[in-house]
């Protein structure tokens, strides 16, 4: 039997995801039409012998969480439970706190996945890889990054013949390796012995004891002893750290639908809008046939899109209204927001540099050194109203705002 744990964090995390996370926990934010963690669950559900999925975090169990869990259990016919931490315990602390629940039923091994990871999740391949290494305590999913960007991640040095991890450093100050940790792991139950050892070292240091992390505290002690291995993938991978990275993750998951869910992708047809590239349109959305959507657009439930509208590289959330002949580029339009006719809402993309091999998405800093807002995607929070015939460029608009005129490079509080 196998299990999976998805680490979802809590409301003190994901601050770079605001204002979208003000209305909905970040793990439930829809990317490519479905909550971020549903993509994890769908991947787990395909693994033979995986019987239970546990969500660990310190969000309060809201109506949104309860509704999602109930619907997911019915849809995927698998046990899905939420285990709430009393505070942020760290990636290893949360596992150790709920170790009895995780080990109930004597699972052979269990996945641990960070909720902010966007990937094609080669989980079955990881299981096969792990089983071939009888002494392995953990198999870590890794991928290649550029030399400069690797410093922002956990870096590892491997034995290229056996794929054993010989050295691991979290966010090193100097270059260690271009192979980085992807935040997806497969553990044998033996790992709890190693976590217990770290806890014992912190008996006199309660703050540290309450925030034991896999990356800083556990992985370094597993290296060089045939306990930690890396399964490398060259397929797509990204972290959804900021709202801007959600646009990029949206693109990646839409591309993956060609293999996993081709039925989710919109197609040309009579009475349908013009579709360019990969587009998801919720069945309840009302999109005028003269609109042009794509590439890489997601349209949520009960959205209205008027005639002559052009949308690309954007996410339109539930209940939004995009009126006639407006243009939405590299933006997220919040729940129940309205964009007036002949209005342009545009952001600046932050895609990985195509000229640098293995380059990853840079979340970047919100402000420059002189205090100015750096160009990024435009985000409209919930219930934002934009009048007709204005331009909103590279701006972030907090919820429940009525904009009187055009804005550029501003945060509207």
pLDDT digits (tens, 9 = 90+) for 376-399: 899 999 999 999 999 999 999 999
Q: Compute the distance between CA of residue 285 and CA of residue 401 in angstroms, rounded to an integer.
A: 24
Token pair for 93:
């602390």
Strands (E), 36-116: 50-57, 79-84, 109-114
What residue spans of 77-211 are helical by DSSP H? 90-97, 99-103, 123-131, 191-201, 206-209
Q: Compute the distance between CA of residue 117 and CA of residue 96 in angstroms, rounded to an integer.
A: 22
- Let me know: does 348 contact 330? Beta carbons within 8 Å: yes
The DSSP-derived string for 214-278 is IIIIIHHHHTTTT-EEEEE--S-EEE--SHHHHHHHHHHHHHHHHHH-GGGS----TTPPEE-SS
Q: Compute the distance between CA of residue 29 and CA of residue 19 in angstroms, rounded to an integer.
A: 12
Token pair for 212:
């034991």
* pLDDT interval class at 213 (50, 70, 90): confident
- Let me know: does 120 contact 231? Beta carbons within 8 Å: no
30 φ, ψ (degrees, to nearest 5)? -80, 125
Q: Who wins on pLDDT, 167 or 89?
A: 167
201 φ, ψ (degrees, to nearest 5)? -70, -20
Beta strands 2-9 and 50-57: pairing type? Answer: parallel
Q: Compute the distance between CA of residue 101 and CA of residue 98 in angstroms, rounded to an integer.
A: 5
* Mean pLDDT, rounded, for 335-359: 85
Q: What percent of the chain has pLDDT over 70?
A: 91
* pLDDT interval class at 157 (50, 70, 90): very high
pLDDT digit string (tens) for 111-133?
Answer: 999 999 999 999 999 999 999 99
Token pair for 376:
């990024």
pLDDT for residue 109 is more than 80 = yes
Which of 162-171, 343-352, 355-364 is the most confident on average? Answer: 162-171
DSSP state of 117: E
Phi-psi region of 105 (alpha: psi -120 to 50; beta: other; left: phi over 0): left
* Mean pLDDT, rounded, for 66-75: 90
pLDDT for residue 206 is more than 50 = no
pLDDT for residue 372 is more than 80 = no
pLDDT for residue 373 is more than 80 = no
pLDDT for residue 208 is more than 60 = no
Q: What is the pTM of this model?
A: 0.93
CB atoms within 10 A of CB 70: 11
pLDDT value of position 209: 47
* pLDDT interval class at 166 (50, 70, 90): very high
pLDDT value of position 357: 67
* Mean pLDDT, rounded, for 282-296: 96
* Mean pLDDT, rounded, for 328-350: 95
Q: Who wins on pLDDT, 21 or 205?
A: 21
Q: Compute the distance between CA of residue 358 and CA of residue 249 in angstroms, rounded to an integer.
A: 16
pLDDT value of position 19: 84
Q: What percent of the chain has pLDDT over 90?
A: 67
Which of 41-50, 59-68, 322-331, 399-408 shows the lowest mean pLDDT across its residues?
Answer: 59-68
Q: Who wins on pLDDT, 199 or 139?
A: 139
Half-sphere exposure of 291 (CA within 13 A, CB side): 31
pLDDT for residue 367 is more than 80 = no
pLDDT value of position 149: 87
* pLDDT interval class at 368 (50, 70, 90): low
Q: Who wins on pLDDT, 63 or 80?
A: 80
* Mean pLDDT, rounded, for 85-112: 92
- Let me know: does 182 contact 214? Beta carbons within 8 Å: no
CA distances from 361 to 158, 241, 248, 316, 364 (A): 24, 10, 8, 22, 9
Residue 45 β-bridge partners: none
């Amino acid at each position: 039997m196998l299990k999976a744990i998805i680490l979802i964090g809590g409301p003190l995390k994901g601050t770079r995801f605001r204002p979208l996370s003000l209305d909905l926990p970040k793990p439930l934010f829809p990317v490519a039409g479905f909550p971020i963690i549903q993509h994890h669950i769908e991947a787990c559900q395909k693994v033979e012998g995986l019987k239970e999925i546990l969500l660990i975090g310190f969000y309060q169990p809201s109506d949104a969480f309860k509704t999602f869990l109930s619907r997911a259990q019915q849809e995927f016919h698998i046990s899905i439970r939420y285990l709430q931490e009393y505070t942020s315990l760290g990636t290893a602390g949360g596992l150790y706190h709920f170790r009895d629940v995780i080990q109930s039923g004597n699972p052979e091994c269990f996945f641990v996945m960070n909720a902010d990871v966007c990937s094609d999740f080669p989980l079955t391949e990881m299981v096969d890889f792990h089983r071939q290494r009888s002494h392995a305590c953990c198999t870590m999913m890794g991928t290649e990054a550029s030399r400069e960007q690797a410093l922002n991640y956990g870096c590892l040095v491997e034995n290229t013949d056996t794929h054993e991890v010989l050295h691991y450093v979290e966010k090193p100050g100097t270059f260690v390796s271009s192979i980085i940790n992807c935040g997806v792991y497969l553990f044998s139950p033996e790992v709890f012995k190693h976590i217990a050892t770290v806890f014992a070292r912190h008996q006199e240091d309660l703050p540290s004891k309450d925030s034991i992390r896999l990356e800083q505290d556990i992985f370094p002690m597993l290296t060089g002893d045939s306990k930690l291995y890396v399964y490398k993938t060259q397929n797509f991978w990204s972290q959804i750290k900021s709202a801007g990275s959600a646009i990029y993750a949206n693109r990646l998951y839409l591309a993956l639908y060609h293999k996993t869910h081709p039925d989710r992708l919109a197609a040309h047809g009579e009475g349908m809008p013009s579709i360019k590239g990969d587009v998801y349109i919720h069945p309840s959305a009302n999109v005028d046939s003269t609109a042009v959507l794509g590439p890489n657009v997601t349209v949520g439930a009960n959205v209205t899109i008027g005639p002559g509208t052009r949308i690309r590289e954007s996410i339109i959330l539930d209940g939004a209204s995009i009126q006639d002949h407006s243009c939405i580029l590299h933006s997220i339009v919040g729940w129940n927001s309205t964009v007036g006719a002949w209005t342009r809402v545009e952001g600046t993309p932050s895609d990985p540099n195509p000229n640098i091999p293995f380059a990853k998405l840079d979340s970047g800093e919100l402000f420059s050194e002189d205090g100015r807002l750096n160009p990024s995607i435009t985000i409209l929070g919930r219930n934002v109203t934009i009048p007709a015939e204005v331009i909103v460029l590279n701006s972030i608009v907090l919820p429940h705002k009525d904009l009187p005129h055009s804005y550029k490079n501003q945060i509207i509080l």
